[in-house]
Amino acid sequence: MRSTPRVAVVTGGSRGIGRAVTRRLTAAGFDVAIIYNADQDEAAATVREVEVAGRTGLALRADIADAPAVRRAFEAVKDRFDGVDVVINSAGIMPLAPIATLDLDDLDRVLRTNVRGAFVVARQAAHSVRDGGAVVLFSTTVTRTHLPNYGAYAATKAAVEGLVPILAKELAGRDITVNAVAPGPTATDLFFEGKPQEAVDRIAGANPMGRLGTPEDIAAVVATITGPARWINGQTIFANGGLA
């Protein structure tokens, strides 16, 4: 066992589920580097939270689909912390429209971020994560519930689910776990955007637990599979309160 803290990289770590994951890993004793793409102020605020909690934080700006930018970000993490133990790819986008009318430019955009971006981060993680570490990608429960208007988003996340067990096998012999977490409807800005209250209430009521998930619910699952649950590997874990 090392005397130094474990180090996590969280993409999309400045907002929503990614920020909750950052907080949870910080509480577990990790130093955390977040990779963000747009909101520098939120990224800086998240780093302050890490540091107030007594750990070391780092914010790095990069488009996750830009392989050279992601490589540079990971190199900066290695320079600062001397290595990486856990990689969480929570960054993603979710344009909604029926398949028949979806703008193909939006399709290209979501494929670039959610598929190419996940692949770029996973590939970099394969080179960077120390033996005994963990990689977590994000899917969605919509790959099971098949809701209208989510065709492009669900297709990209199905691709992520296909990637996970293959990478787990390719990293055999290094004691690195690779899993996906597939949240159900979760109370984030991304979820609430464009939805009237009636729709929010209806979606929450469809869950056997009678509520939306919280970012902290999802962060708890991530903390488990990056910590004590070493025998879970190559899986997609549906964290949705029993929705599907």
Reply yes or no on whether the pLDDT at 1 is more than 90. no
46 backbone φψ class: left, alpha, beta (φ>0; ψ -120 to 50):
alpha
Q: Which domains does the chain have, with CATH numbers?
A: 7-237 (3.40.50.720)
The overall average pLDDT reported for the chain is 95
| pLDDT for position 193 | 81
Model confidence pLDDT, tens digit, residues 21-63: 999 999 999 999 999 998 899 999 999 999 999 999 999 999 9
Instruction: Tell me: pLDDT of 4 over 90.
Output: no
Out of 74, 119, 153, 191, the active site residue is 153
239 by DSSP, 3-state: which?
strand
Which tokens hold the place of 78? Answer: 């290695």
- Whether 36 sits among the annotated catalytic residues: the reply is no
pTM tops 0.85, yes or no: yes
Q: What share of the chain in percent tops pLDDT 90?
A: 90
